Amino acid sequence: MAARLWLFPPRILDALTYHLPPAVQWYHLGAIPAILETGVTRVDSMALGSTLLSLWAFTLLGHDALIELPHFLWALLLLPLTRELAGRLGVSRPWAWTCAALAFTTPAVLLQADTALDHLALGVSTLAALLCLLRWLESGRRLHLLVFALASGLMLGYKLSAPLHLGVFWLGAWWVRRGSASPHKPLLEPAPRLLPNLGLAASLSLVLGGYWYLRNLLVHGRPQGNFHHPMFDFSPGSEAGYLGYHLGLLGQNLTDLPSRLLDGEAWFSPDLPFMSGFGPQFFTFGLLGLVWTLVGLREKTARARLAHLPMLCSLALLLQYFWLYATPFSYRLYLFLPPCALAAGFAALEHTGAFRHKGKRLFLAALALGSGLWSITMTALPLTHQPDFMPTFLALPREHRTVANFLPITPAHLPYRFLANAVAADEPLAYVGGEDDWSYVFVDPAWRRRLVHLEDACLETSTPGTQRLAPRCAHRLAAAGVRLLCTCRYTSCAVLEPGSGTLLVPGLYLVPLPGEATHAP
Amino acid sequence: MHLERSAPWLCGLGFLCYMTWNLLPGSGDRPPRPLEFLARAEQVLSAKPAPLLVAHLPDGRSVHWALPPPSLLPDHERPVFFLRQDLVGLRDLAAGTVTLDGAACSVHTQGPNYLGLACAGRAVLVLATSDLDELAGLLGAL
């Protein structure tokens, strides 16, 4: 995984479109403004905590070679967190580490650990917050509440859906507290002392992760920004329609669940299309954890309920997402589930005495080993549409192993290749783009190239088949001192009318500044 | 309770189900996952790298390029390499020993910002400028 991190550039579409470009813009601006000049307007509503980490990773080297390092570290953090969770559920030390290793080698984790996306950060910070909640519920100490607040604050900074996680946590805490009191110390402080501490904790969380919600409130008038996805639409509208829509989502998600858990419908890739990426370990140990938790719902004491809280919260969160959301890629959001389910599964085995019997112990160790090896092997090769090109790419010096050189060669990708290999990185570029256009492909590894975004309307139809740059946009380019213009949009490139500029490669033009002559085409 | 006796065997059953599903052909054209993996690995391992241009310079340094591939420019038959002036000068390159995929190259044309090479019957062009105006002029002349 570390080798992949070093050898390959960021290559997931979402990272090239909206996770990394804001970091480049912040770097050039020297600030994090509320609104960015970009065609991908969703970045002005997203929680960009992960993008901020990417910026820090870039500033470490002044180069994007380790831009995905934060996610790699999140994946590593999964090891002690899962081991701690399993230990808290009563799993003995060697098996708790086995459980942690299986959580770490979950295909979805291995695949996401060398990306610049935000799902792993959300999943692992959710697990961290859950562990801290457990600790606080056990001890009732203010210190543990504040650590929980810190973990929750981090979690809030990665995705706008994170407040849903907090809601589930508090419901879980309420469920535990409703259990009959144990003979030991009470689970929480008396209410008069609890409320000020909760206020302090909430403030701490908001300081860490609340910026994006506050920005959305101030700029867009609502914490979820300008997202109009049903996940963020809580206005009931027509109640019958609302209920029907969400019941449909729930039904679809539940129907798809078995095939998603079996991972059998597509290639393994970080976007986890039509699969869960939870690997054989989830099917082997995680499902047992689920059964153990459901059986444990009969427990009445608060202490017993505490042991089932992580898996129960994960399950409730999963159902909550199922109610709100269904896409081929939705399982990227559920990375909190495998470690909790695995820990519960190992706890079930520990409590049923399976590890005390030598034969069963060996059998379970073989299953764990088989699951881990399978997951590592099947995710070892990064997905590429041009495997033939891999030896060439890997032979390149690091500064040439850029995303522009990794992408398959199509007519629409020629400008990226040309810019990356033939044009000085400090030459600025204007590109025409909209909501789903990637701009990180234009950026050099040291982020020297300045980009100017032009909206679609900048290209006006001239004659059938050709376009021209609208005068107001040409003035913008001239004012910014930009001479290079890319007219490619994802899979096709616009052709400019003759005399607009010199064609360097299809889709890339050298547009003369005022007073400059054009070159012969 | 039954779970106490059956827990390890439930694990085994889960493992078996997952593996069976992944070892059988998928619903579409998808082959079993291990075959998929092996096919991909075989493609990577058996791939022929792009033309590799290596220059041994008079000062003892070596520089190599494997990019860009031939399809970058309209002339698909002629590999074009872009020389980074901060790494090596055009004059040094012309004075050094250059090979393309191991075949010796000789200089047949030379300009202030380009070098035409002949390497075992293959023509190679090395553009040695990152100045956009020069580049546009050179590309226009190709």
pLDDT digits (tens, 9 = 90+) for B8-58: 999 999 999 999 999 887 666 678 888 888 888 888 888 877 667 788 888
Nearest CA to CA, how far is B95 from chain A (Å)? Answer: 23
pLDDT at B1 over 70: no
Q: Supply the pLDDT for residue B37.
A: 86
From chain B, pick out residues whose CB is under 8 angstroms from the CB of A360: 8
Interface test with B, best of A274, A276, A284 (most B CBs within 10 A): A284
CA angle A504, A508, A510 (to 5 degrees): 65
User: Above 90 in pLDDT, residue A176?
Assistant: no
Residue A335 · residue A119 · CB < 8 Å: yes
User: CA-CA distance, A395 to B42, in Å (whole number)?
Assistant: 18
Using H for helix, E for strand and C for coil, what is the string for A460-504?
EECCCCCEEECHHHHHHHHHHCCCEEECEECCEECCECCCCCEEE
Token reading at B87: 């790494």
Best of B1, B4, B5, B11 to disrupt the A interface (most A CBs within 10 Å) is B11
Cβ-contact A160, A47 below 8 angstroms: yes
Contacts of A287 in chain B (CB under 8 A): 10, 14
What does the domain layout of chain A look like in residue ranges?
A: 68-378, 389-510
The reply to whether A484 touches chain B by the CB within 8 Å rule is yes
Lowest mean pLDDT across A153-162, B58-67, B85-94, B124-133: B85-94
Q: How far apart are CA B76 and CA A414, in angstroms?
A: 13
Cβ of residue A520 closer than 8 Å to a chain B Cβ = yes
CA gap A457, A434 in Å, rounded: 10
Which residue has better confidence, A195 or A97? A97
pLDDT at A55 over 60: yes
Q: Which residues in B lie closer than 8 A to residue A341 (C-beta atoms)?
A: none
Nearest CA in chain A to B127: A422
Q: Which two tokens stand for residue A202?
A: 């909430």
Residue range A428-456, pLDDT digits in tens? 999 998 888 889 999 999 999 999 999 98
Length of chain A: 521
Distance CA A448, CA A77 (A): 32
Give A495's contacts (C-beta < 8 A, 6+ positions apart): A465, A466, A467, A487
Cβ neighbours of B82 in A, within 8 Å = 421-422
Determine the Cα–Cα distance for residues A44 and A224; give it in Å rounded to an integer.
10
Residue A186 has a CB neighbour count (10 Å cut-off) of: 11
Q: Is B39 on the interface with A (CB under 8 A)?
A: no
Whether the link from the prior residue into B68 is cis, omega within 30° of 0, is: yes
Q: Are B51 and B70 in contact (CB under 8 A)?
A: yes
Q: Which residues between 260 and 319 in chain A have a beta carbon less than 8 angstroms from any beta carbon of chain B? A: 262-267, 280, 283-285, 287-288, 291-292, 295
Residue with tokens 């920004």: A225
Please state whether beta strands A488-489 and B62-65 pair in parallel, antiparallel, or not at all (unpaired). unpaired
The span from the CA of A89 to the CA of A68, in Å, is 32
User: Which residue in the set A387, A424, A427 is minimally distant from B44, CB to CB?
Assistant: A387
Angstrom distances, CA of residue A38 to CA of A22, A33, A44, A459: 9, 12, 9, 16
Task: Report the C-alpha gap between A271 and B37 in whole angstroms.
Answer: 18
| pLDDT confidence of residue B27 | 60
Share of chain A above pLDDT 90, in %: 61
Asked if A142 and A195 touch (Cβ cutoff 8 Å), the reply is no
Chain B residue with minimum CA distance to A365: B8
Inform me whether the pLDDT recorded for B69 exceeds 70.
no
Is residue A117 within 8 Å of A270, Cβ to Cβ? yes
Q: What is the pLDDT of residues A2-52, one digit of tens each?
A: 888 888 999 888 999 999 999 999 999 999 999 998 989 899 999 999 999
Q: Which residue of A has its CA nearest to B11?
A: A284
- pLDDT value of position A164: 93
Interval A499-506 mean pLDDT: 83
ipTM for the assembly = 0.89
Q: What pairs with residue B122 in β-bridges?
A: B119
Tell if the CB–CB gap between A389 and B66 is shorter than 8 Å: no
Nearest CA in chain B to A380: B37
Give pLDDT, residue A185.
54
Probe site for chain B from A389, A401, A444 (most B CB atoms < 10 A):
A389
Give the helix, strand, coil percentages of chain A, each rounded to 5.
Answer: 60, 5, 35
Is A377 in contact with B72 (Cβ distance < 8 A)? no
Residue A286 DSSP symbol: I
Give the HSE-up count for residue A245: Cα atoms under 13 Å, Cβ half-sphere: 14
Helix (H) or strand (E) holding B10: helix B2-23
Nearest one of A456, A443, A461, A514 to A487, comparing CA atoms: A456
Domain ranges of chain B: 2-46, 53-141
**Closest partner CB to B71 (pick from A285, A377, A409):** A409
**Cα dist. A222→A125, A126, B1, B98 in Å?**
24, 24, 52, 63
Is the Cβ of A505 closer than 8 Å to some Cβ of chain B?
yes
CA angle A393, A395, A398 (to 5 degrees): 80
Tell me if chain B has a CB within 8 Å of the CB of A369. Answer: no
CB proximity B87 to A under 8 Å: no
Mean residue pLDDT of chain A comes to: 89
- Between CA A344 and CA A295 the distance in angstroms is 12
Q: Please give the residue of chain A at the shortest CA–CA distance from B24.
A: A264
- Residues A474-510 as b/e (b if ≥16 CB within 10 A, e otherwise) read bebbbeeebbbbbbbbeeebbbbeeebbbbbbbbbbb
B23 touches chain A (CB under 8 A): no
Q: How far is B17 from chain A (nearest CA, A)?
A: 8
Distance from CA of B14 to the nearest CA of A (A): 4
Minimum-distance CB partner of B44 among A353, A390, A421: A390
Residue in B21, B72, B132 nearest the CB of A483? B132
- Pairing label, strands A484-486, A429-432: parallel
B95 touches chain A (CB under 8 A): no
CA distance A270 to A71: 12
